[in-house]
Amino acid sequence: MSSQVRLRLLPRARCLFDEPIKVKVEGLRSRQVVTMRARLTDDKGVVFSSSATYRADGSGEVDLNRDPSLGGTYVGVEPMGLLWSMRAQKSHKKFQKATSLKPQLVNFSVHEGEGRILAEETNERILIGDGVSRVPVQEGNISGVLFTPPGGGLFPAVLDILTFKSETRASLLANKGFVVLAISLVEGKFESFEHYPRFHLDHFKEAIDFLKQQPKVDSKGVGIIAKSKGADIALSLATFVPGIKAAVSINGCSANVGIPLYYKKQQILSPLQYDFSKLITSESGTNIVKYIFEDPLAEKNKGSLIPIEQAKTHLLLAAGEDDHNFDSKRYMDQMVERLKRHGKENFESVSYPGAGHLLQPPYKPFCPSCAHGLFPFIGSWGGEPKAHAAAEVHLWKKIQEFFRTHLSCDAAQTKAKL
């Protein structure tokens, strides 16, 4: 490494996972061309990396907030491009951060052309800020992890329903002043819809009641957030179960997908059926699922439609317009039309051109394909990396504002400090 060259991560090398950083290089030759690289290893041991070519200014500096990448895994001025453009060294792998206990370490380095390292620095991206508690929960039918902000409370509460096991979203919301219980859609590995004769809203209501009973929680009402199949469960909870004040549906369906839904020992929604003959498989082995599902508005499927006009909950509906898993924009438009037809104003909707299915908290490596999770094959998720990354930044801020607005509690403004 060159003693003249310095790589700086500002305002500090340690930050929350969802915080942007400024990457600067100093001490280069005037107009020197260098390669910037980033590299990390996820919880499953999969290595992700990115690279970009930059030209220093007349003072020998590179500033990723100002200067364009001339080539590499992204081009143009993209301050966080080295993070979202990372690619897995193995095909069809999704970045996995299953637990929040350990920070994600990202190595940034600057190279002379494609050669020797001139400088490097490690970015420590933490998921739990100082004072946030993490407690595993095994109680009744509840199996999950409870995150609680520091301080005396009272705090608003959110139930995070997961299709892919991850504590990232829940732990980051706790840093923002929310008590969050993260639970999986199903326990263990989800093999296929056929293995589950029915879902019970009662199990999720049990988790909601548990949240309300926590000593630091404002018990007047809770929020729910979920994506994909979990989103139609969230919308069904908002419709049929009282005490839910705000629900976020990300790339969800307007109907109950795949599995009969029960509440209080009675079936309340039939399943929206699907036809695998309409699956589109690429030469690389990825599968586009969105076309296999029947039309929710067809007469025979009316029993699967979620009657969200009955919900007294505030709703935030979000859709990626390039989703390969669900026809999410169309489903969202169906729900918006239904709500408007019934004179409802308790909702917001937002869609993102170029965004795919896996809309998550920002600054993760973009994932085009990986094991599906609900079906036994490799799923194609859609999305264009740059547009998808921008959508994640916007949606993450919107989710926080939405919950702060509708989960009325002064402590919602509390933020844990590093």
State the pTM of this model: 0.93
pLDDT of amino acid 418: 36
Query: Which position has the token pair 């009955």?
Result: 310
Residue 410 has pLDDT above 60, yes or no: no
Mean pLDDT of 210-224: 90
Query: Which position has the token pair 């009973």?
Result: 213
* Chain CA centroid to CA 64, Å: 25
Query: Which position has the token pair 């620095």?
Result: 121
Domain ranges for the chain, please list them: 6-126, 133-413
pLDDT of amino acid 375: 84
CATH topology (fold) of 133-413: Rossmann fold (3.40.50)
Catalytic residue ranges:
228, 323, 357
H or E element at residue 316 = strand 314-320
Range with the lowest mean pLDDT among 133-137, 216-220, 327-331? Answer: 216-220
* Chain CA centroid to CA 248, Å: 12
Phi, psi of 355 (to 5 degrees): -95, 145
Mean pLDDT of 132-160: 93
Superfamily of domain 6-126: Acyl-CoA thioester hydrolase/BAAT N-terminal domain (2.60.40.2240)
Segment 335-338 long-range contacts (CB within 8 Å, at least 24 positions apart): 335/235, 335/254, 335/306, 335/308, 338/254, 338/308, 338/309
Cβ burial 7-27 (10 Å sphere, 16+ → b, else e): bbbeeebebbbbbebebbbbb
For 208, left (φ over 0), alpha (ψ -120 to 50), or beta?
alpha
pLDDT grade for 98, boundaries at 50, 70 and 90: confident
Average pLDDT over all residues of the chain:
93
Report pLDDT digits (tens) over 310-360: 999 999 999 999 999 999 999 999 999 999 999 999 999 999 999 999 999
Q: How many Å apart are CA 177 and CA 210, to the nearest integer?
A: 18
H or E element at residue 236 = helix 229-240
